[in-house]
Every structure is written in C-alpha cells, then in structure tokens.
Structure 1
Amino acid sequence: MVQFTYTVKSTKSDSYQRRLTFLPVNELLSVPKLQFKQNCGEDNICTDYLRITFNFSGFSSVIIGRHTELNLTVNLQNDYEDSSYTVVHFFYPLGLSFRKVNVPEASRHIPISCVPSEQPDQNVNNVVCGVSTPSFPAGSKIIFSVAFGITAKSTWGEKLVITANVTSNNKDRILNESAYTNEIPIQHAVALILIRGEESTHYINFSAITPQTKAVEHIYVVENLQEVKNLPVTLTFSVAVALGSSQIWNITNVSNDKDASCKEIGEIHENCSNMEAQQKEQVILDFQNVVCKLFQCSIISLGQKEPHHFRIKGNVSSSLISQHVKDRKLFLASSALVEYNRTKYVSMFGQEGSPLSIEILTEVEIYEEVNNKLYAAGIIGGLVLLIAAILLLRKCGFFERHYKNKVSGQNEELSPENESPTTEIGNMTSDKTASGQE
C-alpha cells in the first residue's frame, strides 16, 4: 500500500488565498493499493524456508572493562518460496544495548531496518529487524551486522547468550532453522599491580666481633586499578630462611593490613627461587642448599584502588651469618607471586600467561669493629715516645746548637747591610768638605 498526501501552496497575496475554496481534508488523501506478485508455486500458497545463523565477528570472548561494543555478523536466507513481511527478533542480556545495523555493499539491494522493542522483557532486551518488506523473495540471501553497546557496570554471568528468531506472515513455513542461539564466554579486565613497599629493609650490617640480632622486614603491596566485582586473589611468598640446617632468617610473622588470611604452606629445599639477584651472580645464601619457606595469603575480593600491604618480618643473627659468609656480604631474598582465575579475568596490561611477581633483597654486611682501647693505648704510647724523644734531644743540646747557628747566620746576613749606609754617608761628607775648600 502506498499513501499520497496532496497540499496546495500559493505564491499569491493573502487576499487571493482567502478566495480559494478547499475540499474537506479527507478528500485530499488518495490511498490506492498496489498489487505485488509472489512466487508461491502451482498451489498459489507461499511456503518460505527461512534460515538464520550468526557469529561474534571474530571475538573469542567478551572482556568487560576492555570491550565497549559487540558485533554480530548475521546470515539470513530464504531457500524456498517468497516470504511475506520477514522479521528477525534478537534477544540479548540487559547489559547490552542496541546501537546500529550495518549492511555491506553486496547486500544493500535488500533493505533492512532495526528498532528496539517497545515492550522489553524484564530479563532480556529485544530488537526487531524488518527485512525486505513487504517480500523477501525466494533464493534471497543477506549478510548484515548488528552492533550492541556493552555496559561494564551491569551484572554478568560466565557466558553471554543471544538468540535470533526469524518470522513471517506466511501461513505455511519450514521452521527447521528459523531460530539460532549462540553464546560467548564472559571475562573481566583487571589491572593488578604488585610493588615493593618503601619501608622494606634494604640494608643492615653487623660487627664481626660483637654478636647482634636485627629485624628484617619485606613489604609487598598489591592493588587493582580497574573496577571489577568480586575479584579473589591469592599471593604466594617464597622466603629464603636457611642454609642447609642452619637458620639464617627467623621469620616471626607474615601479616596483612586488611582482611586477608595468611598461613605457612610448606618448605622447598631445591630450586626454591628464581630471584633476579641470582641472575646477577650475587651471593644470596647458597641456592644449591638454601631452604625456602612458603606462605600463602588469600584476598576474598580485591576492590578497586584498595591496596593490600603484606609484611614479612623476621630476625637475623650475626653469629649465624658470619659462619657462612666469607666475603663479608650476602643478600636475604624473598619473592611474591600473585595468582587469580585467568579463565574469568584478563590483565589490562596484556600479560596473559605471564606471572605477576617481584622480589625484594636485603643486603647484609659484616664489618671489622675497631678496638677503642687498643686505639687509645696506641695514641698515648705514641705521645709518650714523642715527649721522650724531645727531652733526649734537648738534653743533648740539639736545640741550643741549632739556635746559636740560626742567630749567627742572621748576624752575618745583617752586617753588610749595616756598613753600607755608613760608608755612603762618609763619602758624601768628604765631598761636601772638599767643595767648601775650593
């Protein structure tokens, strides 16, 4: 059906328009009916065979927090007789919102338009797409894409399920492939960081003589910068504590500033660490015989920008270290590894499969302590020897002879200078006397 509406617009003056007589409005409308012919076969009864499938346009999963749009690539075809008023319904979760429909160049001869349903279901959304109205001819095929926006703050399950259903006004229909359902895994983007606490103990030293015990603390901070709900995280700490049977670092406590629970889960006696310092060939106990304790801490839900601080505390004794350190220096080491469900969560930093771990080193140095008593005795002894030497030289007359030699030398230097002015004055007096006689 095609509807025409006629209007009259005059360019004459207002007085001329007032003289015009218009027919009633209902007579300005003409509603003729245009007949179109359908390919319905010999029985003149159209039976369509509408087949629909779709995929997620290359997506293997939907990552909430990273992806903002989901595209469906839809294939629709009619494999039998003409279909009248063909309509495709898409049913999708509330976290998606319809944005647009795109038709590629090859299929633009078949018109399609989509609008969200005016009566959405409480649990799902619905969009309705009219295809080639009024008739979708036999043998026709169209490929189009439907774009949906993704709402990150919505509640998501483990999978996203979408159903497409194609209908028509045909009385007889082959329904084998008129509905299609597809699903895609849901993942959540996380932005986890693991850093070393600034208050960690980086250096301590001991005297080689005086036995001492000092506290060593390693602090790790884990934080999630991305908004995500219910992110459980587990941290595993590996701490080098002993060399063989000799305890070097006596761990007294592994704690958290929030609600995480920590416990010791065992020991490792071989290859217990991959510390970066080991690659630097630094002395970290001896990793061929080192013993590492393992501690595990669980965070039920790591919220956005809610850092958790983990503290590994223990005591180090100089007497135990000095027995094993020949170079007067070693490094105490610990490491932290963050683990989470990588099937459900994906790193925003593109580190899929790479472990999130760091290490902390504490340099321990043994120094030689100066004996103050011996040092003072040496100074006093030196002063006594110096005074004795001075007295001996004075008794021998060394200082008197030196003084006399110095005085006589000064007199010899001064005598020529004293005589020279007298002679010059005398000469000048004689010259003046001779001049007067003349």
Structure 2
Amino acid sequence: MSVYQPIQSAYNKISLSVSHTSFDLSGDSLPDLAVGSNGAVLLLRSKPIVMVEAQVTFSPDQIPTNNSDCNSPSNNTAKVCFTMTNHSTVDVETVQAQINYTLTLDSTHNRAYIETPKQRQLFNTFTLDMAKTHCFSHEFNIKACPEDVVNELCNELGFTFEGVPSSDKLSPSLAQQAQTTTYHHLKFDTTDNLKVDFNFTGSTEVRVGIDDLLNVTVSVENREENSYNSRVTLTYPPGLSYRKFTIQQGRVECNSLDAKNGSSRGKSDCTIDKPVFKSNAKVVFTVSYGIDTNSELDRKILITANATSANAKHSQESELYQQKEIDVENTGRAVNVTVVIKVPVRLGDADIWVNPGSIKIQFNELCFYGCDSNDMLSNVQILGCDKHNDEEPTRSDVVDNIKKDLTVDCSVARCAVFRCNTSCDGHVYKLSANLSSGWIEQIGLQSAKFRLISTATWEYDRNKYIFFSPESENKPPVRQIVATVEVYTETDLTNAIIGGTVGGLVLLALITAGLYKAGFFQSVHADQGGAEPPEEQQ
C-alpha cells in the first residue's frame, strides 16, 4: 500500500472504516483502504502493476557452416528488446522502471564471445517506460569451425526490475507472471543432401532351406554441406536375424534388434562417419541377415532403408528413403498344402461308378530321408481327405464331345471333389471303385476305347510360397489319373459251332468215300484172307 495523503500530526485519535460497497476509490482496478479520524479521511492505495516482456533476435538468424577459413570467426548481432505494458489501470505517462539485464552467450557451451573485452556476458542498465519498446544491439563473435554444430547456441537473458516513484509517490510493481529469465536459441545453418540406396548382393531370390544369408549392401552419399550425426535405419521382417556388418568404404557402426514373436519388424541402426559426414563423402557397407529354415516367410521379403541426420534441414534433392523386395522360394522343407482331387462320377443321368459313395483314395507315401524299405509301399487310408460339393460339367454337348474325343472328364461329367490336407514331402494317390455300364450305353457306341480322367492339383498359401516352374508359369501342376475303358460287341458263336460240326462231318464222309473207291478197304481184306503159313525149315 502507498499513502495517498500524508497523515497529519493532529490525527492523534484514529478510527478505521472500510467501505463494503466500494474498495477501488482511485479507479485503478486495485483495492484501496480508507482511514478516517476527526472528520478527515486518509486513502491508502495499491501500487500499479505492470508486465515486462523481453525478446532477443539475431542477425543473421542462422550460423553459416560453409566457412572454409577456420581462423576467422563468424560475426553476429543480438538485438535485445524490452516492452512494458499495464497489468492494472495506470498513468501511462508517469510509470517508469529501471531495468538491469545480463545477456550470457552460449550459456551451455563456449562457442560465442564479445570481442572487447573478450567475454561471454554483457551488461546494460536503462529506464523503461510504457511509451515505446526499448531495443539495444550487441555485436558478438562465434568461433570458427566449431566441433559441435549440432547443438544450437543457447543464449540466456536475465533482468531485474526496480520501479521509479512517480509524482504522486507511487512506484510500479512487476507482475508475478513476468519471466525474468528467458533463453533464446541460435541454430547453425546445416543443410545436407543425403542419398541412400541398397541392393541384394549376389541374390535374385531367397531360397529358404538352401541359402544361409541375405546380404544387403547399402551406400550413402552426402552431396552438399557437412552432415552431422548421420545414420541409416534398415528394417526387415520376422524370419531374418541380424548376423554382422562389413565395411567397404567409410566409418560405420551398426546395432540391430530382431523382430520378436512376429509382432513387429526388425531394425538395424547404423551410424555414418560419426560425428561429421563430410561434404561429397560416401560410405558403403553390407549388412548380413541369417535365414531361418523354419521361418514362415511371405512370397516376398521387404527391406527398407531410411537416412536421417541432426542437421537443421535437408535439401529438397535428398533421397532419404528406399524400399525394395526380393522373391522367396521355400525349398528344402515340408510345405503345408491341400491336394484337390476331382473324379468324374455321373454322366448325364447315369452313374459312372456302381456306388459313387464307395470311392476310396489311398496313397503310397514317398520317403526321401532315411526311410526303411518296408515304409516305401505302406498303403495308408488318408483320414485328412474330405469330400466337398460336386462340380457340374462346363460343356453341354456331352455325347458329341465324347464321341469325338473318347474322353470323359470334368468338362462333360459331374465330378466329386476331394480335398486332402498334408505336409508330407510327396504322395502317390490311388483311386479305387467299381465301374458301371449305364453311362456307356447312353453314348451309343458299340465299340470304343474311352479315357476316364480324374485330376489332382495343389492349393497353398500363395502369399508365402511360389511354385517355381518355367513350363507352368509358376502355376501349380495338374496331374491326370487315367483309366482306360474298352467297349466291344459280344460275338454269337452258335452258328459257327453248328457250321463247323456239319462241315467236319461232310469232310469225313468225303474222305471215307474216296478211300473206298480207291480199294483201300478191299486190298487190306485180301491181304488178311489169302495168306498161307510159311514152310517149316529143318
């Protein structure tokens, strides 16, 4: 409180009276206190409250770093300005304050100074009023070619406030919200132009189970000013594990964290020529990743590379990000596939099999690794085969097509579909059932040799695997199971037997008659009746 009117010595008896209806008697938006005695009133007033704001600007607003002469420091100018505004109702023309300020250059380091005398702090005192903003310029130097151009200059400004009494004996007070210490930053002008690129060294595809490593060769160039704390971050999918890095050019250090539980991507963080990646410099290095033979890799592996630095900005021509893919061939390990078998079961209105529901699918398991000979031909019923909905034929002119091609397949006949889940390295499937003749009769051919064709193919996750075969354009093969059905007319042999018997008898009669006329039977009889016994010799 300030006394608005001096207390007179005659006021030897004082009483206090506070008005409950009007505390601000002076009109300055601050509470006042009135004291009365013997018909006189003494008014006690609050000091006027003001706000002071400080601002510092620099010219130039960034520190150049392309100075080739490391013996000549950079020059800069700091402009310090103070502004006072009323925080309560005050008399603008009478309010004043004395300001004492201190500017500390580069308060956290030692890269800036005042030339005369050579020191980091400068001081000044002046009287501040509300009529205008008061500014002061201070020249200073920045050391040439400082080692640390990443961390900006942190300049500290602090001031003290002392109110100057006005003609009515009132001196202003500084508002509690005023900041008497502020920090003003000056950045280095560091603009780099980074270009990052990479390739898969010696690989056009990843062959799981055959290849041990995937080598990623990375190159980074800086095509403009020095780059500070430069680094390249590579990301890679689960299934790959970081092994090592090899430097071909420059200075590089790499650390890596593999993906865990397939929830994220692995990350390799490589620093480049730390702390300064010089202008027009280049680094080349190779990061090697191990390939897990049991990993579930997609059909393509995505690798990304991202270059960053601590520079204030990057050139618009910078190439900071690259991503590339490489194909995956899953070999040397079992692949979960579904074998789809389609069997013709009905042609028109006639069943092809005596009982289509009795079709059995069996297989001989093919063993490739250390199998006993007794295991090679072990017939096993596939419990994993499920029958799905039948497929209707795709062609309508069934009989004409069969007569032309003598082929019965799923294009002309309804087919049963079986799906068999397996992870074995190989199977030989066998179909067994009894054929019906009804479907043959409706074709109308008395004799022919038909080809009854069933098919088998694969289904698999095409996002993870690719069937490598130039002949099939990387499509899974379709194998045919062919059964040959021969139809012929049954021959009636009754007439042939009768004719042969009659002909045989006629031939026998002719032979007998011929022998009789030739005297065969008479000569034989004569020889037997006229013969005399020979004489006995003595």
Give the TM bin, normalised by the shorter chain: 0.5 to 0.7
Matched, 1:347 2:467: yes
Partner of 2:448: 329
- One-letter code aligned to 1:295: A
Partner of 1:200: none
Secondary structure of 2:295's counterpart equals coil
User: Please, which of 389, 395, 398 is the counterpart of residue 270 of structure 1?
Assistant: 395
- Contact kept, 8 Å, 1:283 with 1:331, in 2: the verdict is yes
Instruction: Please state how far the C-alpha of 1:259 moved relative to its aligned partner.
Output: 0.5
Secondary structure of 1:291's counterpart equals coil
| Superposed CA offset, 1:187-231 (max 9, x none) | 5536xxxxxxxxxxxxxxxxxxxxxxxxxxxxxxxxxxx5245x3
Secondary structure of 2:520's counterpart equals helix
Moved more, 256-265 or 135-144: 135-144
1:347/1:67 CA distance change after superposition, 3 Å: farther
- Contact kept, 8 Å, 2:467 with 2:476, in 1: the verdict is no
Partner of 1:199: none
- Contact kept, 8 Å, 2:299 with 2:463, in 1: the verdict is no
- Contact kept, 8 Å, 2:250 with 2:284, in 1: the verdict is no
| Superposed CA offset, 1:350-396 (max 9, x none) | 43344511333333334455656656545544454344345544554
Matched, 1:227 2:333: yes
Instruction: Please state how far the C-alpha of 1:93 moved relative to its aligned partner.
Output: 4.0
Q: Distance in 2 between matches of 1:158 and 1:364?
A: 43
Q: Distance in 2 between matches of 1:382 and 1:330?
A: 36
- One-letter code aligned to 2:424: Q
1:166/1:332 CA distance change after superposition, 3 Å: closer
Q: CA RMSD in A?
A: 4.9
User: Please, which of 276, 286, 294 is the counterpart of residue 153 of structure 1?
Assistant: 294
Instruction: Please state how far the C-alpha of 1:346 moved relative to its aligned partner.
Output: 0.8
- Contact kept, 8 Å, 1:66 with 1:348, in 2: the verdict is no
> What aligned pairs does 1:30-69 form with structure 2 within 5 A after superposition?
41=67, 42=74, 44=146, 45=149, 47=190, 49=192, 51=194, 53-57=196-200, 64-65=208-209, 69=213
Secondary structure of 1:270's counterpart equals coil
Structure 2: runs of 5+ lacking an equivalent: 1-63, 68-73, 75-141, 151-189, 362-381, 528-538
1:181/1:358 CA distance change after superposition, 3 Å: same
- Contact kept, 8 Å, 2:306 with 2:320, in 1: the verdict is yes
Q: Distance in 2 between matches of 1:298 and 1:346?
A: 20
Partner of 1:317: 437
| Structure with more helix by fraction | 1
- One-letter code aligned to 2:449: L
From the CA coordinates, give the structure whose radius of gyration is larger. 2
Q: Distance in 2 between matches of 1:184 and 1:317?
A: 57
Matched, 1:189 2:314: no
Structure number with the bigger relative contact order (C-alpha 8 A, sep ≥ 6) is 1
User: Please, which of 355, 362, 371 is the counterpart of residue 483 of structure 2?
Assistant: 362
Q: Distance in 2 between matches of 1:122 and 1:179?
A: 27
Partner of 1:239: 344
- Contact kept, 8 Å, 2:242 with 2:258, in 1: the verdict is no
Q: Distance in 1 between matches of 2:283 and 2:439?
A: 83
| Superposed CA offset, 1:374-432 (max 9, x none) | 5654554445434434554455463157779x9xxxxxxxxxxxxxxxxxxxxxxxxxx
Matched, 1:111 2:111: no
Structure 1: runs of 5+ lacking an equivalent: 1-37, 191-225, 407-438
> What aligned pairs does 1:85-96 form with structure 2 within 5 A after superposition?
86-93=230-237, 95-96=239-240
Partner of 2:384: 259
Secondary structure of 1:315's counterpart equals coil
Instruction: Please state how far the C-alpha of 1:258 moved relative to its aligned partner.
Output: 3.1
Instruction: Please state how far the C-alpha of 1:137 moved relative to its aligned partner.
Output: 0.5
1:152/1:40 CA distance change after superposition, 3 Å: farther
1:145/1:152 CA distance change after superposition, 3 Å: same
1:402/1:114 CA distance change after superposition, 3 Å: farther
Q: Distance in 1 between matches of 2:216 and 2:433?
A: 54
What is the number of residues matched between the two proteins?
A: 315
> What aligned pairs does 1:129-148 form with structure 2 within 5 A after superposition?
129-132=270-273, 135-148=276-289
1:133/1:400 CA distance change after superposition, 3 Å: same
Secondary structure of 1:347's counterpart equals coil
- Contact kept, 8 Å, 1:234 with 1:296, in 2: the verdict is no
Secondary structure of 1:346's counterpart equals coil
- Contact kept, 8 Å, 1:57 with 1:72, in 2: the verdict is yes
- Contact kept, 8 Å, 1:167 with 1:178, in 2: the verdict is no
Instruction: Please state how far the C-alpha of 1:303 moved relative to its aligned partner.
Output: 0.8
- Contact kept, 8 Å, 1:322 with 1:366, in 2: the verdict is no
Instruction: Please state how far the C-alpha of 1:97 moved relative to its aligned partner.
Output: 3.8
- One-letter code aligned to 1:233: T
Once superposed, which parts of structure 1, at least 4 consecutive aligned residues long, lie more than 6 Å away? 58-61, 175-179, 401-404
TM-score w.r.t. the length of structure 1 is 0.54
Identity of aligned residues (%): 19
Q: Distance in 1 between matches of 2:226 and 2:411?
A: 80
Secondary structure of 2:485's counterpart equals strand
Matched, 1:298 2:419: yes
